[in-house]
Structure 1
């Protein structure tokens, strides 16, 4: 008999904390409505009720309640570390934590491995007083091991689900962190992005996602994919929540919370709407009709709030974006990442490594030898019909930044930056306050351009599609203008009026969520 999980949010000492902001949770803690220990227990109970179907959390921290008690003791002595004191969070399973948990990028081959220290972003959040509840599930190896695979699946965590409709793709690779925040398993979470892995799951899970300028948050202690593109990002249920966390992990420190303002900030703001290959694609696509109409209606409300919204062009769009506006899933292999050398550096730093995984060659060999669970051979596991073909390509390149690699990197930077976002932001001799773009209705193109540029992006939940899956509006800016994204993201959020809550459709779904280009012959599956 299938048991339907209890989707009600447990009360915290009689207080309904569902959808509560970090600021409100902090006020309740200060007013002694409950303690940090009570709050952690409430979120842990929520996880116990839902995670059997959502698979958003890969491992709970056995020390979480001890950490919460320590924060309570500090509060009792009058010592408050800041706005995150006692606030529970999760991190993606490729962000290292030196404790009793594993850091495995979702792969069973790293179970038992021990890292030498916390990732820098984790260290900073611990110092800020936040309470680490555990590791969140993810697309194994951050979606980079194959060209066709089941998004949000990992051999350790299983098939992650979308809390709005469990039969639909939750987006990847930071699916677990986004889904956990969306379903109120934690107050906030950290994810990572190389190419859309923060923005897409944020959008499809109805939460705010901030993907910072590359280099603004530390990647130290994060299992790498590309040092040219990787960044640690933040998930929150509101812009304010995501911002207070982002401020805590920025290096060097930046004052960002003061940028969270109301819709009055839209008066006299100037935004661009990149048309060719982006909004154009959204207007053509009949499957995106609901999104396009809702987003255009929101643009009208943004104008009514006093902003100017102008159609602009990304000069390189017709050159770098296919005519169908589709997302190029083979992009990572074309510029030669993940780089074997980076894997080697990270893996060499492990102080315990039971399976002696030291290089990309070791990873691919392990997957082949354990293909029933890890799908190293094409057609032997349903999650990976093409096996590990992206790893194979990367291994063949030897992770060498040769002239071909450097030429490709220079090309995408030039097309995404000088002839892309930066050009579009210069309109009529004055810089625009941001580029407004759909996240999903254009096939993911805008996200990819921002990722290639290494530029910041924020997405704001707007509504849900006919299938119940959320979608939103995003803003893109140039490098290190993250503060502008926060200012105008908060203003647009105020116009929207709040995010839709999850409704857990198809709660017993057991399908795979394939993405990429299907192989002509997938072969037998396990």
Structure 2
């Protein structure tokens, strides 16, 4: 189900087909690629080669051609009917000499569990929230608007941020269907910020925002070949974002370059008195764009965590090549053993138990603030809605929701959460401190698996759990491809180390130039080198 677009937006789509992405500047000006970074787009805006209005029109056209039709990525749920007016206003500010910063006039997409006062519902992918038009900006959205960004629209996601069923299909929601991976349309875009990752990878906007509780930014970023950053919990406000657990939820950037992630994080980071977790954010945040350094790897001590080695030998080979690139830039690599299986197993079990216990009170509190048009006022109401709405359970059930309803109140839960957080921090801090490391690197996971609605996909492992449970930052940067499918490299660090991680990731990105644009094949076998091997006759 697609949200209905306004007549103005529909007209803009028709008009945009005749407009080049980068404008009507000098006769010899070269068109601006839809994959141009936010920094490149800002330069084009500054020298008059394009306008924000032209960028918005062209991206609306591209969404219509690649997302709604053509390969049908299903990455964008709705276009903001106010986007063109916002762009015109920002263009007028620029003409008057007022430029708010590196995001002025640049387009951003929001995962559809983040509220924005644009007349569109915030659905979390669920038909139960189809009428959730709150007329509120999430705190991070207000910061984006203050920075001059144009909210282009809302992205599809794994329904309820992938927390409805243990057998869910990543990237699927009843509202938007299945998000398809631009590097292989039959492959998963992972979740839950699948639409944000796929949209940025496919050049449907300059940048996007995702959210993560455990892996929901970093997994889709890695599997769609983009940069993803899960910040320290408490650096970015969660107010007016559909929750899972306050202990781990955060929003963060999903972009095509590390520099764009740094600019986006600089805009959204900061203290919000409505979110107590952000009390330290103003004191801890930095100008992350200014902190980038091409030479950051020189002399840096980097721990190498060969997590899940052997599960995907070709991913292992790409990772080894990435390690050579780090060495070539002067990094000192230190082999790590990593936490033992017993510790990781305990963290995994207790994480799910506590997230399930946290979920009902968190969601009930959120639903109580939604408009009267939303009939589901509690998790129990959502469960009842799903039982009567066949479109919700066509592919899988809601056993996590049902389990969350059955969890009894436990006065000891805060202590259990504190113990789990401490265990995860000790594991990650131990790796960092034992060898006096600047960061730990590991493969972000294997290449995206085939979407299988019958048996489920293949998951090859991820380093997301420790930073997720500890509340520490996690950056993934494209490191290469396996049969044309993206794989990423993760950079892990202690709390509030975003500036350092981004600098290291930037230095690697600039040295490796690993990312390439997608070619939207229907399946891996459509690539000539593989197709010839499939059928050599």
TM-score (norm 2): 0.84
Deviation per CA, 1:163-213, whole angstroms, max 9, x where unpaired?
110100101000001111000100000010001000000000000001100
Cross-structure match for 2:3: none
Q: Select which of 380, 395, 404 maps to 2:405.
A: 395
Shift of residue 328 of structure 1?
5.6
Q: Select which of 214, 220, 225 maps to 1:201.
A: 220
- Secondary structure of the 1:321 match is helix
Q: Which moved more, 1:480-489 or 1:336-345?
A: 336-345
CA spacing shift, 1:140–1:265, aligned 2, 3 Å = same
Cross-structure match for 1:488: 504
Q: Is the 8 A contact 1:43 1:185 kept in 2?
A: yes
Q: Tell me, in whole angstroms, the C-alpha distance in 1 between the residues paired with 2:462 and 2:360.
A: 27
Shift of residue 498 of structure 1?
3.9
Alignment partner of 1:310 is 2:334: yes
- Secondary structure of the 2:209 match is strand
Cross-structure match for 2:9: none
Q: Tell me, in whole angstroms, the C-alpha distance in 2 between the residues paired with 1:495 and 1:427.
A: 28
Q: Tell me, in whole angstroms, the C-alpha distance in 1 between the residues paired with 2:204 and 2:410.
A: 41
Q: Tell me, in whole angstroms, the C-alpha distance in 1 between the residues paired with 2:193 and 2:352.
A: 17
Deviation per CA, 1:209-254, whole angstroms, max 9, x where unpaired?
0110001000011000010000111111000011100011111242
Q: Is the 8 A contact 2:243 2:363 kept in 1?
A: yes
- Secondary structure of the 2:200 match is helix
Alignment partner of 1:255 is 2:262: no
Q: Select which of 128, 132, 136 maps to 1:117.
A: 136
Q: Is the 8 A contact 2:107 2:205 kept in 1?
A: yes
Q: Select which of 291, 303, 325 maps to 1:272.
A: 303
CA spacing shift, 1:300–1:507, aligned 2, 3 Å = closer
Shift of residue 349 of structure 1?
1.2
Greater relative contact order (Cα 8 A, min sep 6): structure 1 or 2?
1
Q: Tell me, in whole angstroms, the C-alpha distance in 1 between the residues paired with 2:388 and 2:105.
A: 44
Q: Select which of 417, 420, 428 maps to 1:421.
A: 428
Q: Select which of 341, 345, 363 maps to 2:365.
A: 345
Q: Tell me, in whole angstroms, the C-alpha distance in 2 between the residues paired with 1:463 and 1:445.
A: 16
Deviation per CA, 1:110-147, whole angstroms, max 9, x where unpaired?
11222252000000001111101100000000000001
Q: Is the 8 A contact 2:166 2:399 kept in 1?
A: yes
Shift of residue 338 of structure 1?
4.7
Q: Is the 8 A contact 1:144 1:332 kept in 2?
A: no
Q: Tell me, in whole angstroms, the C-alpha distance in 2 between the residues paired with 1:170 and 1:328.
A: 23
Q: Tell me, in whole angstroms, the C-alpha distance in 2 between the residues paired with 1:449 and 1:365.
A: 34
Give the alignment of 1:82-93 within 5 angstroms: 82-93=101-112
Q: Tell me, in whole angstroms, the C-alpha distance in 2 between the residues paired with 1:335 and 1:300.
A: 38
Q: Select which of 287, 291, 302 maps to 2:315.
A: 291
Shift of residue 330 of structure 1?
9.3
Is there any run of 5+ residues in structure 1 with no aligned partner, and where?
A: 1-6, 376-380, 510-526
Q: Over the residues paired in the alignment, what is the CA RMSD in angstroms?
A: 2.3
Q: Tell me, in whole angstroms, the C-alpha distance in 1 between the residues paired with 2:37 and 2:388.
A: 46
Q: Tell me, in whole angstroms, the C-alpha distance in 1 between the residues paired with 2:99 and 2:514.
A: 29
Shift of residue 407 of structure 1?
5.0
Give the alignment of 1:150-299 within 5 angstroms: 150-251=169-270, 252=282, 253-262=285-294, 264-275=295-306, 278=307, 281-282=308-309, 284-285=310-311, 288-299=312-323
Shift of residue 440 of structure 1?
0.6
Alignment partner of 1:452 is 2:459: no
CA spacing shift, 1:349–1:335, aligned 2, 3 Å = closer
Cross-structure match for 1:514: none
Cross-structure match for 2:440: 435
Alignment partner of 1:409 is 2:417: yes
Cross-structure match for 1:19: 35
Q: Tell me, in whole angstroms, the C-alpha distance in 2 between the residues paired with 1:469 and 1:321.
A: 28
Shift of residue 414 of structure 1?
2.5
Q: Tell me, in whole angstroms, the C-alpha distance in 1 between the residues paired with 2:330 and 2:507.
A: 11
Shift of residue 331 of structure 1?
4.8
Q: Tell me, in whole angstroms, the C-alpha distance in 2 between the residues paired with 1:200 and 1:401.
A: 32
Q: Is the 8 A contact 2:351 2:420 kept in 1?
A: no
Shift of residue 75 of structure 1?
1.1
Give the alignment of 1:37-56 within 5 angstroms: 37-52=53-68, 53-56=72-75
Shift of residue 392 of structure 1?
0.5
Q: Which moved more, 1:444-453 or 1:488-497?
A: 444-453
Q: Tell me, in whole angstroms, the C-alpha distance in 2 between the residues paired with 1:489 and 1:248.
A: 19
Cross-structure match for 2:83: 64
TM-score (norm 1): 0.86
- Secondary structure of the 1:473 match is strand
Shift of residue 34 of structure 1?
1.5
